[in-house]
């Protein structure tokens, strides 16, 4: 990695932490310049606009998500074990950033706002749901889940559970959010077990 790439990665790390707590819309080149002790013009040279800063921060978060959730999941044995690893790794992801899942933050900001950020978030969300469904299909193919399991429905419920966990733990400060999430996830898995 070149010095310029390392600098940009460092800036994006900081931008990601800021966006996780205040949102993408509140993220600015000026604010980032203060936090990274760089000049605004130096930062502007990397991003050219606030929208590019937001989009590149979102893409940076996607790479971090892949490294935190998806890659480790694929090292688990296929089947139910891998489905459980996916859930466990998502729970790890929820605590990587101070503000929790950056995609939940982004969805709250952009769900009704057309444009490049919403489009990127939609692509990320569809990829996430497809990743869950793929892991579930594998669990069906190895015989851990029943053949009539609907992978897309399972992905919907899995995703709904992660959103409920985020809400309970972040907004409601429910100390039992993790326990409740695991109980619900275990019931989901049990319902589909072969």
Determine, yes or no, domain membership for 185. yes
Which pLDDT value is given to residue 27? 87
Eight-class DSSP state of 146: -
What confidence category does residue 1 fall into, taking pLDDT thresholds of 50, 70 and 90?
low
Determine, yes or no, domain membership for 106. yes
Q: Count structural domains, the chain.
A: 1
Q: What is the pTM of this model?
A: 0.92
Determine, yes or no, domain membership for 107. yes
Cα distance between residue 97 and residue 19, in whole Å: 9
Which pLDDT value is given to residue 30? 82
Determine, yes or no, domain membership for 153. yes
| 86, HSE (Cβ side, Cα atoms, 13 Å) | 29
What confidence category does residue 159 fall into, taking pLDDT thresholds of 50, 70 and 90?
very high
Q: Are 73 and 85 in contact (CB under 8 A)?
A: yes
Q: Mapping DSSP to helix (H, G, I), strand (E, B) and coil, where does residue 145 land? A: strand
Kindly tell me if the per-residue pLDDT of 121 is higher than 90. yes
Domain ranges, residue 100 = 54-192
Q: Are 32 and 14 in contact (CB under 8 A)?
A: yes
Determine, yes or no, domain membership for 160. yes
172: domain CATH number is 1.10.357.10
Which pLDDT value is given to residue 4? 67
Determine, yes or no, domain membership for 88. yes
Q: Which of 17-31, 79-93, 147-161, 170-184 has the lowest mean pLDDT?
A: 17-31
Q: Are 132 and 86 in contact (CB under 8 A)?
A: yes
- Residue 60's closest CA among 113, 21, 24? 24
Determine, yes or no, domain membership for 104. yes
Distances (CA, A) of 145 to 67, 84, 141, 148, 191: 26, 12, 8, 8, 9
Cα distance between residue 133 and residue 26, in whole Å: 34
Q: How does pLDDT run across 62-87, given as a tens digit for each residue?
A: 999 999 999 999 999 999 999 999 99
Centre a 10 Å sphere on the Cβ of residue 106 and count the other Cβ atoms it contains.
25
Determine, yes or no, domain membership for 29. no
């Amino acid at each position: 990695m070149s010095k310029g790439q390392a600098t940009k990665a460092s800036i994006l790390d900081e931008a990601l932490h800021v966006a996780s707590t205040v949102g993408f819309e509140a993220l600015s080149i000026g604010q980032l310049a203060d936090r990274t002790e760089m000049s605004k013009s130096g930062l502007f040279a990397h991003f050219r606009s606030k929208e590019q800063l937001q989009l590149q921060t979102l893409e940076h978060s996607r790479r971090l998500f892949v490294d935190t959730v998806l890659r480790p999941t694929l090292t688990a044995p296929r089947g139910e074990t891998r489905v459980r690893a996916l859930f466990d790794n998502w729970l790890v992801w929820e605590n990587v950033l101070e503000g929790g899942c950056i995609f939940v933050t982004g969805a709250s900001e952009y769900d009704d706002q057309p444009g490049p950020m919403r489009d990127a978030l939609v692509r990320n969300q569809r990829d996430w749901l497809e990743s869950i469904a793929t892991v579930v299909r594998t669990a069906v193919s190895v015989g851990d889940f029943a053949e009539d399991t609907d992978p897309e429905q399972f992905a919907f419920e899995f995703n709904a559970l992660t959103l409920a966990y985020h809400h309970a733990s972040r907004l409601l400060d429910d100390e039992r959010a993790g326990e409740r999430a695991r109980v619900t996830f275990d019931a989901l898995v049990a319902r589909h077990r072969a």
